[in-house]
Amino acid sequence: MARVRARTAAIFLLAGSAFAAGCATDNVGYVPLNPPPRRMSARPVAAVAVFTVTPPRRPHTDIGLLRVVGGNPPPSTHTDVGFDEPQPVSAYDEAQEMIAALRQRAARIGCDAILVTHIDRPLVWEPWIDYAGARLPSAQASCVVYNDSAADL
């Protein structure tokens, strides 16, 4: 009986750590909105175009919404009193990191492009607030699929 409990505990521990590892690396959500105008398949990340504010002129369908929440915590310095003090991170670098995550997920889905519609970033990284879900950096984009069959024109 003790061996069964130990084996069950090990299985749950392994499954829980695999689940936690997956959550930590894939923080991009996707919500489908419209059916794609053609068959889709994964593509290279470099093939996914990035648009901001103005959508592509080419006829397209926005088939879904991508959203990345959170990012890597900024580098920190351990202080003499035992606290970690966050170092400044440029808004540009953080935005680029989030857009890269959106683009990678879009490539797996098969999007031809993404249209970045929103980027939000707290002014100061405060882990004791951010981890509670108050103000994590986030970015949002729509998954664009061109309506014609020649997706790589």
Write the pLDDT tens digit of every residue in 35-72.
999 999 999 999 999 999 899 999 999 999 999 987 66
More confidently predicted of 108 and 86: 108
User: For the chain, what is the domain count?
Assistant: 1
Provide the mean pLDDT of the chain: 76
Quick check: 7 pLDDT over 80? no
Asked if residue 21 is part of any domain, the answer here is no
Asked if residue 152 is part of any domain, the answer here is no
Write the pLDDT tens digit of every residue in 126-148.
554 545 545 678 999 999 999 98
Asked if residue 45 is part of any domain, the answer here is yes
More confidently predicted of 13 and 110: 110
Q: Which domain range does residue 109 map to?
A: 27-146
pLDDT tier at 86 (50, 70, 90 boundaries)? Answer: low
- What is the biggest distance separating any 2 CA atoms in the chain, rounded to whole angstroms? 67
Asked if residue 13 is part of any domain, the answer here is no
More confidently predicted of 32 and 8: 32
Write the pLDDT tens digit of every residue in 20-40.
333 333 789 999 999 999 999
Residues 6+ apart with CB under 8 A from 101: 27, 28, 68, 71, 139
Rounded-to-integer distance, Cα 141 and Cα 118, Å: 7
Asked if residue 22 is part of any domain, the answer here is no
What pLDDT is attached to residue 41? 95
Asked if residue 15 is part of any domain, the answer here is no
What pLDDT is attached to residue 125? 55
Rounded-to-integer distance, Cα 103 and Cα 66, Å: 9
Asked if residue 18 is part of any domain, the answer here is no
Which H or E element spans position 96? Answer: helix 91-109
More confidently predicted of 52 and 14: 52
Entry pTM: 0.69
Contact 69, 29 (CB under 8 A): yes
Asked if residue 80 is part of any domain, the answer here is yes
Contact 101, 70 (CB under 8 A): no
What pLDDT is attached to residue 104? 97
